[in-house]
């Protein structure tokens, strides 16, 4: 029997339900993305990972030295590296790197032949990419490369399967789609969106296979699908090193020294790159996208292999017929007021959360967190 099933619930629509008891810590779902891509600025600044699966391609020490801008840093202990450096390959034409020939072959078969060499100066997608970078600075939340990669999958597959899969992702009204694009592109979104669309339309012209997404409305709809359904992916060889070190046996004194070293490294990172630490990007996951949000989730998403393969894992025992929910917001946001959470979810996902936690806090004051109070003071001063 499958652990889960997809159904429809009154008031909530699509939902994922447990078919049987799922124990705390149990893996509910393992899934590779339909499509994924690294963020534009991560590529620009040399955040090195497999172009297909996101596995880091630099050692933990190389990662630390690059982020801290200090080539003298030496990690005090060795841990297993994520990548097998003897297995790293690159495309002979565009020099894009992969962690293995398997990933290179999968990329070539799915989309890479379509995009190979086209992001370089003079390539078909160079101007689209540059326009996106100028309108979407780090920390990024989306990338135009996902759109182009989807186009590549449609073109290389010569079938309607990809379009049918995209149609299964949640959609909104046209005005809501524009609202999402506004969030993605900022205050000048209408100008930026128009420029990016015009360049995309110039490149792809009257391509009949892509006609659904080349029109302005279709392009906006596709960006909105990515805005509400794409899952963030972040990998880091240094984070993997820190996790590996935490499981090693060592004396209390050694542990204290290691912890102090790690704290000092993250302090250096804060001075050099801020929160811009990981090989970051996003991907569309067909099954994972069907899980609803809760501010008190009973499951979470993890990336146990430091690549783009995700697991949905139970945070507690989940009973048969119970809905399985994840959080669309991070732990910091989860700890904030109902007002903060509701506002964020409405602006970024276009729904009003009616989870148990929000319903229990419905009588709370609209403004309770320090961040909201500061925001309210700013609004009053304007």
Tell me the pLDDT tens digit for each residue of 154-202: 999 988 899 999 998 988 899 999 999 998 888 899 999 999 999 999 9
What is the largest distance, in Å, between two alpha-carbon atoms of the chain? 67
* pLDDT higher than threshold 70 for residue 380: no
Per the structure, the count of domains in the chain is 3
Q: Do 236 and 82 contact (CB within 8 A), yes or no?
A: no
Task: Give the 3-state secondary structure percentages of the chain, helix then strand then coil, rounded to 5.
Answer: 45, 15, 40
Count other C-beta atoms under 10 Å from residue 219's C-beta. Answer: 21
CA angle 332, 51, 222 (to 5 degrees): 65
Confidence of residue 342 (pLDDT cuts 50, 70, 90): very high
* 56 shares its domain with 76: yes
pLDDT of res. 367: 62
Confidence of residue 331 (pLDDT cuts 50, 70, 90): very high
In a domain, 278, yes or no: no
Q: Do 47 and 38 contact (CB within 8 A), yes or no?
A: yes
pLDDT of res. 315: 98
350: left (phi over 0), alpha (psi -120 to 50) or beta: left
pLDDT of res. 374: 54
pLDDT of res. 378: 45
* 13 shares its domain with 84: no
* 49 shares its domain with 194: yes
* 313 shares its domain with 376: no
* 204 shares its domain with 294: no
The residues facing 311 across adjacent strands are 30, 302
CATH number, domain with residue 10: 2.170.270.10
pLDDT of res. 369: 54
In a domain, 71, yes or no: yes
Q: Do 232 and 42 contact (CB within 8 A), yes or no?
A: no
In a domain, 120, yes or no: yes
Its sign, for the CA torsion 335, 369, 180, 8, is: positive
* 108 shares its domain with 136: yes
Among 7-21, 32-46, 112-126, the range scoring the smallest mean pLDDT is 7-21
* 164 shares its domain with 308: no
In a domain, 280, yes or no: no
Give the pLDDT confidence of 219-258 residue by residue, as tens digits.
999 999 999 999 999 999 999 999 999 999 999 999 999 9
| Domain range enclosing 350 | 338-382
* pLDDT higher than threshold 90 for residue 139: no
In a domain, 238, yes or no: no
CA angle 108, 229, 192 (to 5 degrees): 85
* 189 shares its domain with 303: no
Q: How far apart are CA 155 and CA 124, in angstroms?
A: 15
Going along the chain, which residue ranges are E strands?
A: 4-9, 13-18, 27-31, 35-38, 89-90, 97-98, 231-235, 279-284, 292-293, 299-302, 310-314, 325-326
């Amino acid at each position: 029997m499958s652990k889960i099933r997809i159904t429809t619930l009154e008031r909530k629509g699509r939902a994922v339900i447990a078919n049987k008891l799922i124990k705390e810590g149990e893996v509910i779902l393992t899934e590779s993305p339909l499509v994924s891509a690294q963020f534009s600025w991560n590529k620009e600044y040399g955040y090195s990972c497999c172009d297909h699966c996101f596995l880091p391609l630099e050692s933990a020490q190389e990662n630390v030295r690059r982020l801290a801008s200090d080539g003298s840093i030496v990690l005090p202990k060795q841990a297993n590296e994520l990548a097998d450096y003897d297995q790293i390959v690159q495309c002979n034409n565009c020099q894009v790197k992969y962690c293995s020939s398997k990933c290179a072959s999968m990329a070539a078969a799915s989309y890479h032949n379509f995009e190979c060499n086209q992001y370089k100066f003079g390539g078909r997608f160079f101007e689209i990419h540059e326009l996106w970078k100028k309108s979407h600075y780090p920390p990024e939340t989306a990338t135009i490369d996902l759109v182009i990669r989807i186009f590549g999958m449609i073109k290389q597959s010569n079938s309607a399967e990809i379009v049918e899969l995209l149609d299964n992702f949640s959609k909104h009204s046209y005005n809501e789609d524009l609202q999402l694009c506004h969030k993605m592109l900022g205050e000048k979104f209408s100008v930026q969106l128009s420029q990016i669309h015009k360049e995309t339309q110039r490149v792809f012209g009257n391509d009949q296979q892509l006609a659904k997404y080349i029109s302005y409305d279709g392009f906006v709809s596709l960006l909105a699908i990515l805005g509400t359904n794409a899952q963030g992916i972040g990998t880091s060889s240094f984070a993997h090193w820190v996790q590996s070190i935490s499981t090693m046996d060592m004396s209390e004194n050694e542990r204290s020294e290691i912890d102090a070293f790690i704290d000092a490294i993250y302090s250096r990172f804060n001075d050099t790159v801020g929160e811009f630490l990981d090989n970051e990007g996003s991907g569309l996951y067909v099954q994972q996208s069907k899980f609803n949000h809760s501010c008190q989730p009973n499951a979470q998403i993890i990336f146990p292999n430091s690549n783009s393969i995700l697991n949905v894992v139970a945070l507690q025992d989940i009973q048969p017929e119970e809905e399985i929910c994840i959080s669309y917001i991070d732990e910091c946001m989860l700890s904030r007021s109902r007002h903060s959470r509701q506002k964020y979810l409405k602006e970024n996902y276009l729904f009003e959360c009616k989870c148990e936690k929000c319903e229990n806090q419905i009588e709370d004051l609209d403004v309770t967190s320090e961040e909201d109070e500061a925001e309210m003071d700013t609004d009053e001063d304007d």
